[in-house]
Copies of this chain bind each other. A is one copy, B any other.
Amino acid sequence: MGRKSLKSEHIPKATIGRLAVYIQVLERLKSEGTDVISSENLAQACSVNSSQIRKDLAYFGEFGVRGVGYYVQELITSIKQSLGVDRIWNCCIVGVGNLGRALLRHGEFKSKGFNIKVAFDCDPYKIGEIVEGLEVICTRKTRNLVSEQKLEIGIITTPPERAQRAANYLVEAGIKGIINYAPSRIDVPDHIPLEYVDFIHHFYALAFHINLGRAAE
């Protein structure tokens, strides 16, 4: 397991981000009945350069047909395999506040293969409560549940001051990767992949770009 037909050793971080976009657009094209698409047309739909797409795909293999383009369904499958999202990933969430509940309610994760199987919280008033069909479990039981339920991805939705402790529990329990929705930086060992999701960051970027446009007038 874990074998991968990478043609190249290192893959740009930005490429991974774009592959997710390609999947999104390709799924829409598929649902609209498009069977084949050229890198040029896909590029337009994704607002990127067409050789960017060809290069991104070339990191993983040769998926196209010269003179023709890419078969949409085949390409979706290939990209998903390349990313390793062609299977179910077992996830847990730590912190059942507003944000945690919203994510549990959000159906997109499960439909894309990210199955949230366990919800943790350290608040005794919440423990035992049923949220979206899941019983809230005491955070101390992280170690047992991660191995019992084969949990791979931990989603942190605690308040910022408790995010580091949540991460520590998860790492100690043997989690394989972490997504941090709490607005604080956390430390994890180098071998644990970590992604930050920060809502405010996008608002700051937008505000800046709006001002920039205004200044140019």
Which of B19, B45, B199, B207 sits near A204, CB closer than 8 Å?
Answer: B19
**Minimum CB–CB distance for A206 against chain B, Å:** 4
Segment among A134-142, A165-173, A179-187 that sits at the interface with chain B:
A179-187
Is the pair B193, A152 in contact by a Cβ cutoff of 8 Å? no
Is the pair B109, A20 in contact by a Cβ cutoff of 8 Å? no
Which of B25, B106, B193 sits near A210, CB closer than 8 Å?
Answer: B193
Closest to A200 in B: B112
The A contact surface, by secondary structure, is: helix
**Minimum CB–CB distance for A122 against chain B, Å:** 20
Closest to A179 in B: B202
B-binding residues in A (CB < 8 A): 1-4, 6, 13, 16-17, 19-21, 23-25, 28, 45-47, 82-85, 89, 98-99, 101-103, 105-106, 108-109, 112, 114, 152-153, 160, 176-179, 183-185, 191, 193, 195, 197-215, 217
Q: List 26 A-B contacts (CB under 8 A).
A: A1-B214, A2-B214, A4-B211, A6-B215, A16-B208, A17-B205, A20-B201, A21-B201, A23-B204, A24-B185, A24-B198, A83-B204, A84-B208, A85-B204, A85-B207, A102-B106, A114-B203, A153-B203, A153-B206, A153-B210, A176-B213, A177-B209, A177-B210, A179-B202, A193-B205, A193-B206
